[in-house]
Structure 1
């Protein structure tokens, strides 16, 4: 599907991969709606990106909050064509550690944000997409791209909740693609490896360099631009559907 003049809802769009995806979509003539809980940062980034982008303060785990964000997107731009889900949290705790068993509230929060939050947003965006007229000769009305992680396949020590949440995103990709196929809505997932986000900038130089040598080739951390590139490729290629694409330069995570 052509990106020009189309409208994208991007969760976690005020920073990191979400922001980079938004920038690329706008550079290709698209319009964007930032869904993020950080109002100050979200407003600033929307202003920075110009009239093609608006901000909606959204908690992805809250149904009414997402409904309000979707309504704001439709009011501003008239439709939703793409939904890219990047909002998520990274948590860590051993199943049984020095302080006892894995805190159940941490488990619940991780799944609520990463898995349920992704589904909450995509289902409400998909509802709007069904109202679109077909936009391609194949009858495509919209595209959804979710973000999982290589931890869905090779979770490390302490990543039980995180891996479960990301594995759930991988697992629901095909069933949702099947559900939405009758409406002409494609659904895919990307599974990034080690991506050079601000989190990595705080690491000591030796640790950063060691992590950079982990991928097979090229031996560097992934860049948010790499993720933005694959997202736009998925949107533009109408024959990619129900798929999970690893973006990790051949990385296979070790236990720790």
Structure 2
């Protein structure tokens, strides 16, 4: 499996394009926004109400030309009206949307399997199982919110003229995680939702091809953000390799611009980028054996002849 070299020259195609980035007030989202602004893109920085001060402060370091190409927009990606309205405002501001980075994400702050609660006495704790409300919120933000974002992205991009650069009508990059492929840490909601992002990447390729849109994912390893704040110092003391937010931003920007990337999942780990989906597909015969692999290939051809998977009738 060969590394993908980071190629800054690819980012020249960003000049004059408009990007919409969720979770853009801090961390990976902000680093991506700043990088795209540096390469001549207009950028709509979408994030929750209440993050405007944080984002505005970060933008003050930009020169006037870059600052004029930045647009802050409030957006709760779990709320359809909110995210739909944010896209509409961004398109009205810029005239079009060429790149969307579905980056916003959260992690739970308490274990899914913790049945204790300081608000409950022992008798009530034995009688009832507390509803995991925070776990639902994580799935809503990471999976439902990403689904909202890429649905609106494709809706708005499908009417774009084909790009002279690569012939596509737009580029969408989702921020997944190594937790979308591996799940040994026991962080249930986050891991489940990030596995969902990989499923979303794979299942959305027919629609992406139909509308002429490149849909890919970036898969960051440990990166110092709010999510890793509780252990990143100990991680660094252990001298384990980590990304920084600029590494991930560079991977996102390159994936957005690289015309070869269609259905790719680019893992960035210890400052090295590798594509995972191609090798996953190539290893399926070794994993399942030739007979089962052939059966799956026959099933794929069957559904292609049907024009896609026939959905069941409503009940």
TM-score (norm 1): 0.86
Secondary structure at 1:164 match in 2: helix
Instruction: Quote the Cα distance in structure 1 between the aligned partners of 2:233 and 2:70.
Output: 36
Name the structure 1 match of 2:139. Answer: 111
Instruction: Quote the Cα distance in structure 2 between the aligned partners of 1:229 and 1:134.
Output: 24
Residues 105 and 205 (structure 1 numbering): CA distance in 2 closer, same or farther, change over 3 Å? closer
Instruction: Quote the Cα distance in structure 1 between the aligned partners of 2:149 and 2:235.
Output: 36
- Show CA shifts across 1:167-192 (max 9, x none): 00011102212212122100001111
Aligned counterpart in structure 1 of residue 106 of structure 2, from 89, 92, 113 = 89
Name the structure 1 match of 2:68. Answer: 51
Aligned counterpart in structure 2 of residue 143 of structure 1, from 171, 179, 198 = 171
CA deviation after TM superposition for structure 1 residue 93, in Å: 4.3
Answer whether contact 1:93 1:159 (CA < 8 A) is retained.
no
Name the structure 1 match of 2:53. Answer: 40
Secondary structure at 1:186 match in 2: strand
Name the structure 2 match of 1:254. Answer: none
CA deviation after TM superposition for structure 1 residue 223, in Å: 0.9
Instruction: Quote the Cα distance in structure 1 between the aligned partners of 2:162 and 2:244.
Output: 34
Name the structure 2 match of 1:72. Answer: 89
Answer whether contact 1:95 1:102 (CA < 8 A) is retained.
no
User: Radius of gyration: which is bigger?
Assistant: 2
Instruction: Quote the Cα distance in structure 1 between the aligned partners of 2:181 and 2:229.
Output: 25
Answer whether contact 1:93 1:102 (CA < 8 A) is retained.
no
Name the structure 2 match of 1:217. Answer: none
Aligned counterpart in structure 1 of residue 77 of structure 2, from 31, 35, 60 = 60
CA deviation after TM superposition for structure 1 residue 155, in Å: 2.2
Matches within 5 A, 1:152-171: 152-171=180-199
Secondary structure at 2:204 match in 1: helix
Residues 203 and 138 (structure 1 numbering): CA distance in 2 closer, same or farther, change over 3 Å? closer
Residues 137 and 88 (structure 1 numbering): CA distance in 2 closer, same or farther, change over 3 Å? closer
Name the structure 2 match of 1:27. Answer: 38
CA deviation after TM superposition for structure 1 residue 128, in Å: 0.9
How many equivalent residue pairs?
A: 243
Name the structure 2 match of 1:253. Answer: none
Is the deviation greater in 197-206 or in 82-91? 197-206
CA deviation after TM superposition for structure 1 residue 98, in Å: 5.0
Name the structure 2 match of 1:5. Answer: 16
Instruction: Quote the Cα distance in structure 2 between the aligned partners of 1:225 and 1:200.
Output: 16
Residues 76 and 44 (structure 1 numbering): CA distance in 2 closer, same or farther, change over 3 Å? farther
Is the deviation greater in 142-151 or in 228-237? 228-237
Instruction: Quote the Cα distance in structure 2 between the aligned partners of 1:48 and 1:116.
Output: 33
1:208 matches 2:243: no
Please tell me the root mean square deviation across aligned C-alpha atoms, in Å. 2.3
Secondary structure at 1:194 match in 2: coil
Answer whether contact 1:3 1:28 (CA < 8 A) is retained.
yes
Instruction: Quote the Cα distance in structure 2 between the aligned partners of 1:205 and 1:112.
Output: 29
Stretches of structure 1 lacking an aligned partner (at least 5 in a row):
214-219, 251-256
CA deviation after TM superposition for structure 1 residue 137, in Å: 5.8
TM-score (norm 2): 0.71
Name the structure 1 match of 2:267. Answer: 246
